[in-house]
C-alpha cells in the first residue's frame, strides 16, 4: 500500500484534504491517502476479519480481549467491536510495555464499520477519533483516505505515539492481507471456513456484500 500525507506532516503530498478545525477538536496535521493492491471487499473485510487477532496485537496489553468481555456487535448496516481497558493499565500497576499511555477519559476501545466503506476508530486514552473511507480503484485495487482528530488539549506527544502505533499495526495488516489477496488471485484456496463466534463480523460483512449484489 502506498501513502501520502497532508501538508504540515513529515511527508509531502499535493492531494490530501486541508486541515480543518472545529470547536473542541483539532488534528495535528494528519491526513493520509492510501492506495492498496487489494480489492475493496478485501480491504473492508479485513477490518472485521481480523477482529480478534487485530485486537490482541493492538490492545492485548491494554484492553481486555477475553471473549466474555470483548464485544462483537453485528447489525444491519454497521459492525462494532468494543473492549474495556485493563484495570491494571488504568491504575498504573501494569508491568507490560505499552505503545502509548492508554489512561484517560476513554476507558474502552471502539472500532466501527459503517456500510459500505467507512470505519470509525476510537482508541483508549485521551480524546481521539479517526475516520477511514475506502473506494474501489478498478477490479483489483482500492483507494482511500484517513483523517485523525484529537481533543483540543491532547498533548502532541500522545498524538504522535498513538499514530505511530497505528501506522505499525496498519503495516502489519497490509503485509498479511496483501498475502491473502495474492493467494485468492492464484485460486488458493477454493473456499474458506469461518469461526462462527470470533469471526461473526466478517460473516455479517460477507452477507452485506451478497445482499448488495443480489
39 band by pLDDT with thresholds 50, 70 and 90: low
Q: Quick count: other Cβ atoms within 10 Å of Cβ 146?
A: 21
Find the CATH number of the domain harbouring 122: 3.90.380.10
pTM, to two decimals: 0.76
| 111 has pLDDT over 80 | yes
Q: What crossing angle do the helices spanning 40-49 and 156-185 adopt, rounded to 10°? A: 120
Domain holding 161, by residue range, is 2-213
What H or E segment, with its residue span, contains residue 118? strand 118-122
Reading the block at residue 194, the C-alpha cell is 469461518
Number of structural domains (the chain) is 1
Mean pLDDT of the region 158-163? 89
Closest by CA position to 72, among listed 203, 170, 210? 203
Residue identified by cell 504522535 is 160
83 band by pLDDT with thresholds 50, 70 and 90: confident
Query: How far apart are alpha carbons 63 and 57 in whole angstroms?
Result: 10
Q: Quick count: other Cβ atoms within 10 Å of Cβ 106?
A: 18
Range in 4-8, 35-39, 80-84, 169-173 the model is least confident about = 4-8
Closest by CA position to 200, among listed 67, 109, 108? 67
Residue 9's pLDDT is what?
43
C-beta of residue 117 within 8 angstroms of C-beta of residue 44: yes
What H or E segment, with its residue span, contains residue 43? helix 40-49
Residue 58's pLDDT is what?
54
Amino acid at each position: 500500500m502506498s501513502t501520502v500525507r497532508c501538508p504540515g506532516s513529515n511527508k509531502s503530498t499535493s492531494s490530501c484534504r486541508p486541515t480543518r478545525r472545529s470547536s473542541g477538536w483539532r488534528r495535528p496535521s494528519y491526513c493520509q491517502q492510501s492506495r492498496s493492491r487489494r480489492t475493496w471487499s478485501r480491504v473492508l473485510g479485513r477490518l472485521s476479519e481480523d477482529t480478534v487477532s487485530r485486537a490482541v496485537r493492538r490492545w492485548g496489553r491494554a484492553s481486555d480481549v477475553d471473549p466474555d468481555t470483548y464485544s462483537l456487535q453485528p447489525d444491519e448496516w454497521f459492525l462494532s467491536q468494543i473492549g474495556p481497558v485493563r484495570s491494571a493499565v488504568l491504575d498504573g500497576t501494569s508491568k507490560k510495555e505499552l505503545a502509548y499511555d492508554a489512561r484517560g477519559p476513554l476507558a474502552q476501545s471502539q472500532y466501527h464499520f459503517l456500510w459500505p466503506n467507512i470505519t470509525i476508530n476510537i482508541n483508549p486514552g485521551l480524546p481521539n477519533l479517526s475516520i477511514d473511507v475506502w473506494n474501489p480503484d478498478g477490479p483489483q485495487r482500492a483507494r482511500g483516505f484517513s483523517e485523525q482528530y484529537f481533543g483540543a488539549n491532547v498533548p502532541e506527544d500522545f498524538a504522535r505515539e498513538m499514530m505511530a502505533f497505528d501506522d505499525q499495526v496498519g503495516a502489519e495488516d497490509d503485509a498479511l492481507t496483501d498475502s491473502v489477496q495474492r493467494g485468492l488471485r492464484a485460486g488458493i484456496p477454493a473456499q474458506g471456513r469461518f469461526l462462527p463466534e470470533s469471526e461473526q463480523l466478517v460473516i455479517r460483512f460477507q452477507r452485506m456484500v451478497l445482499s448488495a449484489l443480489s
